[in-house]
Amino acid sequence: MKSKTSLAAMPRTRLAHLPTPLDDAPRLSALLGGPRILIKRDDMTGLALGGNKTRKLEFLIGDALSQGADTVFTAGAPQSNHCRQTAAACCKAGLRCILVLTTGQHDELQGNLLLDRILKAEIVHTKSDDTNAVMAELATAERAKGRKPYVIPIGGSNGVGTLGYASLILELASQLFERGQTVDRAYAASGSGGTQGGMLLGARLYDLPWRLIGVSTGRRSAEVAGYVVHAANEAAHVLGSTESFSGQDVEVDDRFTGPAYGISTPESREAIRLFAETEGVILDPVYTAKAAAAMIHDIRTKAIGRDETVMFVHTGGTPAIFAYHVEMAESLG
């Protein structure tokens, strides 16, 4: 390890079932005529149907509790996996949860939004794009009532939350070491940047020499890369590490983003079917299916060599598929 830093010194609340499995995907690999494919099953973190935000929330909720908070705010789209996992984490930690939901695709009472309600989160709707400002204002009002609010930004991708994905690298390194394998490339969906940023920091700290490709799920590459750099630098700062990152350290692919966040594409719907048919693995239409579409394309076009080992990070999102039943039904023929 390069610098003297300690994850163990950070407040942490155990929420996830770890380690998540690292599975081989031989039938998917055979179908694509491609390289060895590993799937890191972070859809199986276990908290209220799982997903990547649970790793971040271990550090965020740990931090909230260490500050004596009694109320947690966070924000997202109606089908936000982050909001659903935050609501569940708050239930488990005995904290009140207030979700600021923006307008967006699929605001019917289905998928994640249904789970938010079952998890008894209080929901505030906003038309503003500046959810940080909305939450700051609401938090001020709660403070005036004697409450102790803790505000988590969209996606939980601040320095504290991003530590969750720096720590994934340790888990992964030990799984790979046990199997005598290495990973040449990894693909993960990238939105608010903390997942990719955390892995970037962890891979730097532990000298993991892979190529990490974040697949954008809504914005152009340069914008997402900016989020990733910011998240990685913030997390390094929180850890007391001297590592620093710039845009040159980050690879973001936006070729499979489609028209907008939350809108599925023919390629993403095909990816959902291929993962399901070959491996029995269910992807989600908003994030993982777009990341998988990028990986599938790179295998088919031989941008990935047959002798490489490629890892797909399944970041979760599965509950959202039920909100997308109309789009999915059309692609099933």
Q: Which residues bind ligand PLP (CB under 6 A)?
A: 51-52, 81-82, 155, 157, 189-196, 284, 287-288, 315-317
CA end-to-end span of the chain:
52
Distance of CA 165 to the CA centre of its chain: 9
Q: Shortest gap between Cβ of 140 and ligand PLP (angstroms)?
A: 26
Q: Shortest gap between Cβ of 43 and ligand PLP (angstroms)?
A: 8
Q: Closest Cα partner for 208 from 221, 198, 194, 216? A: 198
**Closer Cβ to ligand PLP, 142 or 267, answer by number:** 267
Q: Shortest gap between Cβ of 14 and ligand PLP (angstroms)?
A: 20
192 is catalytic: no
Name the residue number minimizing CB distance to ligand PLP: 317
Given 3, 29, 66, 80, which residue is catalytic? 80
**Closer Cβ to ligand PLP, 54 or 71, answer by number:** 54
Q: Shortest gap between Cβ of 158 and ligand PLP (angstroms)?
A: 11
**Closer Cβ to ligand PLP, 82 or 106, answer by number:** 82
**Closer Cβ to ligand PLP, 62 or 262, answer by number:** 262
**Closer Cβ to ligand PLP, 129 or 137, answer by number:** 129
Q: Shortest gap between Cβ of 291 and ligand PLP (angstroms)?
A: 7
Q: Closest Cα partner for 123 from 87, 148, 92? A: 87
Residues tagged active-site: 80
